[in-house]
């Protein structure tokens, strides 16, 4: 029952984080002149349209990853018009960065709520931090549930923010770096790297690379959350 309850909590946080990420993509694309995702129903915080579009990434993958590894991973997507990206590569760059920015905002919100809980005496810094134990409750019941929820919210969104910013196809950072290029170079860059081969290779490289770079990001987040701490 404890495993099931924690899994349900994980899934709620996963859906919130993924939906917010994709809705941000869709909304910024609409602002930039591409209503494709808007017409597809992705400019919403309702997870149902996102689940209908990517049932494997939003339903099956997170459940299986939780049963196998004890945490959830998955994906969703917001459609866009490739012709719009070719005409306005820099707008597409902002659209790509909107997703990680949404996850960063949720990370900061979780951190703020943790600090507020500590100021109110409901939370305390843990002796040892982990994915589901960034903060611990000073009591039981609702405080313990809130501590676990905020721990997962902070860590999952920190992970999504950092992972998606890697400048490797097909991740958001790969399109985001076109903001540093001229329009002509950006178009050539995105056209060249759109091949499925680069997608598969990119995901493999990103997964191997991220395992090495996330640990210092995690420790930096803990030092910012708990100034003066020495978590290892």
Average pLDDT over residues 209-227: 91
The pTM is what?
Answer: 0.93
Question: What pLDDT, on the 0 to 100 scale, is given for residue 143?
Answer: 92
Question: What pLDDT, on the 0 to 100 scale, is given for residue 232?
Answer: 64
Question: What pLDDT, on the 0 to 100 scale, is given for residue 148?
Answer: 94
Query: Would you say residue 63 has pLDDT above 90?
Result: yes
Query: Would you say residue 85 has pLDDT above 70?
Result: yes
Question: What pLDDT, on the 0 to 100 scale, is given for residue 172?
Answer: 96
Question: What pLDDT, on the 0 to 100 scale, is given for residue 2?
Answer: 78
Q: Which of 52-56, 111-115, 201-205 has the lowest mean pLDDT?
A: 201-205
Average pLDDT over residues 72-88: 93
Average pLDDT over residues 117-145: 92
Q: Where are the domains of the chain?
A: 2-225
The model's confidence at residue 200, banded by pLDDT at 50, 70 and 90, is confident
Question: What pLDDT, on the 0 to 100 scale, is given for residue 152?
Answer: 96
According to DSSP, the residues that pair with 124 across neighbouring strands are 136
DSSP string, the chain: -HHHHHHHHHHHHHHHHHHHHHHHHHHHHHHTT--HHHHTT-SSS-HHHHHHH-HIIIIIHHHHHHHHHSS----------HHHHHH-HHHHHHHHHHHHHHHHHHHHHHHHHHHHHHHTTSEE--SS-BTTBSSEESSSTHHHHHHHHHHHHHHHHHHHHHHHTSSSTTSHHHHHGGGGS-HHHHHHHHHHTTSHHHHHHHHHHHHHHHHHHHHHHHHHHHHHHSTT----
Task: Calculate the average pLDDT of the chain.
Answer: 93
Question: What pLDDT, on the 0 to 100 scale, is given for residue 91?
Answer: 97
Query: Would you say residue 50 has pLDDT above 90?
Result: yes
Q: Which of 137-146, 152-161, 206-215 has the lowest mean pLDDT?
A: 206-215
Question: Are 68 and 6 spatial neighbours (Cβ–Cβ below 8 Å)?
Answer: no
Segment 203-213, tens digit of pLDDT = 888 888 888 89
Query: Would you say residue 132 has pLDDT above 90?
Result: no
């Amino acid at each position: 029952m404890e495993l099931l309850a924690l899994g349900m909590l994980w899934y709620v946080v996963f859906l919130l984080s993924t939906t917010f990420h994709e809705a941000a993509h869709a909304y910024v694309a609409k602002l930039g002149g591409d209503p494709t995702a808007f017409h597809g129903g992705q400019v919403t915080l309702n997870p149902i349209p996102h689940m209908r579009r990517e049932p494997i990434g939003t339903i099956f993958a997170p459940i299986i990853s939780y049963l196998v590894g004890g945490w959830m991973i998955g994906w969703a997507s917001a459609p866009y018009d490739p012709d719009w990206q070719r005409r306005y590569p820099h707008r597409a760059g902002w659209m790509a960065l909107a997703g990680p920015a949404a996850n960063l905002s949720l990370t900061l919100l979780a951190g703020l709520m943790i600090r507020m809980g500590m100021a109110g005496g409901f939370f305390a810094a843990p002796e040892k931090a982990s994915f589901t134990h960034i903060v611990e409750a000073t009591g039981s019941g609702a405080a313990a549930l809130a501590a676990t929820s905020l721990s997962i919210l902070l860590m999952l969104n920190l992970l999504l923010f950092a992972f998606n910013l890697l400048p490797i196809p097909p991740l958001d950072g790969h399109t985001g770096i076109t903001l540093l290029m001229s329009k002509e170079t950006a178009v050539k860059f995105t056209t060249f790297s759109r091949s499925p081969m680069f997608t598969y290779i990119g995901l493999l490289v990103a997964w191997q690379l991220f395992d090495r770079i996330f640990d210092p990001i995690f420790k930096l987040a803990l030092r910012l959350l708990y100034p003066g701490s020495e978590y290892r």
